[in-house]
Amino acid sequence: MAQDKRDYAKLSTEDISEFSVFLKSQGLSLSSVNRSMSGIKGFYRYLSLEHGLTDPTTDISSAKLPRKLPKALTIDEVTRLIESAEREGDPISLRDKAILELLYSTGARVSEIIGLNVVDFSLNSTSDGDIHIVKVKGKGSKERLVPLGKFAISAVENYLTRVRPALAEKNPRSEGALFLNSRGKRLSRQSAWQVVLDAAQATGLTGKVSPHVFRHSFATHLLDGGADIRVVQELLGHSSVTTTQIYTLITIDKVREAYSTAHPRA
C-alpha cells in the first residue's frame, strides 16, 4: 500500500480507514496514528470548504487512547524527599523544604505554589480548634482554600522566620511573594522544579519525581485514607469530579491486587 498512488480527490472513507489500519500495522503508536489522521482530516476539511470536495473523513473518528493512571509515590518516598531538602549549614534549604511540604500538604500545582504571597496564609478558629488555611489561586484565577498540615505549617514558619527576611531585604519590591530567590525576587517555576529534581537525586528517585507527582500523591493518599472524592475534588481545584475520579482507579487497582493475592478463591 505504501507504493499505491491514488488520486486524493477520489479516495473513499474505506480508503482512509485502510490507511489508518496500515499505519497501525507499521508499529506506530495510537497517538502517532491519531496525529496522522488529524492531518488528513484537516486537509479534506480545507478542500471541502474551499473547493467543494466531498469529505471522506467525516465518519472517521480518532482511536481512543488508553487512559494513563497518574503515578503516586509511597508515603515513605514523599517523606524521604522532603527530609532530604534540609541541608545543615544551608539556610536556603529551609525554603526548599517548605516548598516540598506545601506541594504535598496542599496538592497545589508548582505554578500555584510559586504564586503564593505571605498574606495568603491565615489562621481560622473553629469549634474544633484553630486551622491554618492557605488561599491558592488556580486556573482561571479561581481561588480555593486548602487546610495545612502541621508539618507544612512548621516548615513555612521556619522559613518565614529564619530565611525570608534576609532575602526580602535584597529587593524591597518583592511585593509580598512567599518564596524568594537569592536576589529577593519571586522564585521562578524553573527554580521550584530544580528544588524537586535535587531532592529526587538526593534520595535516588531521579526519573520518578516531578512537582506534579506530589499532586498525584496528595490525591491518592487522601483517597486511600478514606477522604470523600468530592472533598478531594475541591482541594485539587477540579471543576468536574470526573477529573478526580481517575485517582480512584489507582485505589481500585490496589484493592484488586490485594484481593488477588490474599483470597484463596480469587
- What are the catalytic residues? 109, 139, 212, 215, 238, 247
H helices then E strands: how many in the chain?
Answer: 12, 3
> Which residues have CB under 8 Å from 21's CB, separation 6+?
none
The Cα 86–Cα 7 span in angstroms is 66
Task: Specify which residues 147 forms β-bridges with.
Answer: 133
Read off the C-alpha cell for 111: 505554578
The Cα 115–Cα 181 span in angstroms is 13
Quick check: 27 and 14 in contact, CB under 8 A?
A: no
Backbone phi and psi for residue 53, each to the nearest 5 degrees, phi listed first: -75, 140
Quick check: 113 and 152 in contact, CB under 8 A?
A: no
Classified as helix, coil or strand, 35 is helix
Backbone phi and psi for residue 251, each to the nearest 5 degrees, phi listed first: -65, -40
Where is 105: in which H helix or E strand? helix 92-106
The Cα 34–Cα 16 span in angstroms is 12
Handedness of CA 172, 177, 181, 187 (dihedral sign): negative
